Amino acid sequence: MADDLTHPSIKVPAEIQGTVRVATWERFYNWCRSRSVWPMMFGLACCAIEMVAMASSRFDFSRFGMEVMRASPRQADLMIVAGTVTKKMVPQIVRLYNQMAEPRYVLSMGACANGGGPFKEGYSVVSGVDKYIPVDVYVPGCPPTPQALIFGFIQLHRKIEGQTWKDYTWYKNRGHGEEIPLPILGPDLFDPRQIALIEAAAISEQANVEQAAG
Ligand code: SF4
């Protein structure tokens, strides 16, 4: 693991390679961040059972410095969306996401969270959590195994290690992240970000009706 830290362009003499690492500050900073991600403790459906199995002794994610699952979004920087995302839950998921510590990440676990899964196009289920919050890593499966989830964590580590100060929103905005407007659950789920699209569709529909009426 420590070998990841050594910058490939910097040559360390062979006799001290076992004890000395030379890295850029950014590489070291990202390496530390990637090994201390704190997930939020919440699950939505059957995938959450696999997430619990992954946290327990047989698989054990404390090897990644992740064992501190937080009950408060303000102390967590990883949301594992583990299970079916119903329309009723979406406003709560977005609210929790907005309250999480920055820089924050989302791992979508399983077919349901990725795209609706076996319930796709059901009246109560959304076709993927990424319609509402940005997803960093998708883990396929129904359910994904604990090993698959661990592989997802490793992909997240790689993503964090590859980030720079310049391309992440939170750094660009000097410590201010982007808040996502809360979807509203009425007769159906309404996303305020879609309002321009809905207005344009309504105007076009109205014009069609008027044209047909002559
Ligand atoms: S992907 Fe499969 S196991 Fe996971 S929540 Fe959906 S139905 Fe359950």
pLDDT in tens, 18-57: 888 888 888 888 989 999 999 999 899 999 999 999 999 8
Residue 53, CB-side half-sphere exposure with 13 Å CA sphere: 13
Task: Using the predicted structure, report yes or no on whether residue 152 has a pLDDT greater than 80.
Answer: yes
In the sheet with 137-139, reading across from the earlier edge strand, the strands are 78-82, 105-109, 137-139
How many whole angstroms separate alpha carbon 155 and alpha carbon 148? 11
Q: State yes or no: pLDDT of 172 exceeds 80.
A: no
Q: What is the pLDDT of residue 19?
A: 85
Q: Is residue 3 scored above 60 in pLDDT?
A: no
Q: Any idea where the domains of the chain sit in the sequence?
A: 38-160+173-180, 183-214
Task: Give the separation between CA 31 and CA 36, rounded to whole angstroms.
Answer: 9
**How high is the mean pLDDT of the chain?**
90
Q: Residue 102 above 60 pLDDT?
A: yes
Other C-beta atoms closer than 10 Å to the C-beta of 198 total: 12
Average pLDDT of 117-127? Answer: 93
Q: 175 falls in which pLDDT band (50, 70, 90)?
A: low
How many angstroms does the Cα of residue 139 sit away from the middle of ligand 1?
Answer: 12
Print burial letters for 98-134: b (CB count within 10 Å at least 16), e (below 16): bebbeebbbbbbbbbbbbbbebeeeeebbbbbbbbbe
Q: Determine if ligand 1 sits within 6 Å of the CB of residue 144.
A: no
The pLDDT of 81-105, averaged and rounded, is: 95
Place of tokens 């076996």: 118
| Å from CA of 48 to ligand 1 middle | 9
Verify cis geometry, omega within 30 degrees of 0, for the bond prior to 103. yes
| Cα 47 to middle of ligand 1, angstroms | 5
- The pLDDT, as a whole number, for residue 17 is 81
- What is the predicted pLDDT for the residue at 177? 72
182-211 pLDDT, tens per residue? 999 988 899 999 999 989 999 999 999 999
118 lines ligand 1 (CB under 6 A): yes
Q: Which CATH class is domain 38-160+173-180?
A: alpha beta
Indicate if the pLDDT at residue 158 is higher than 90: yes
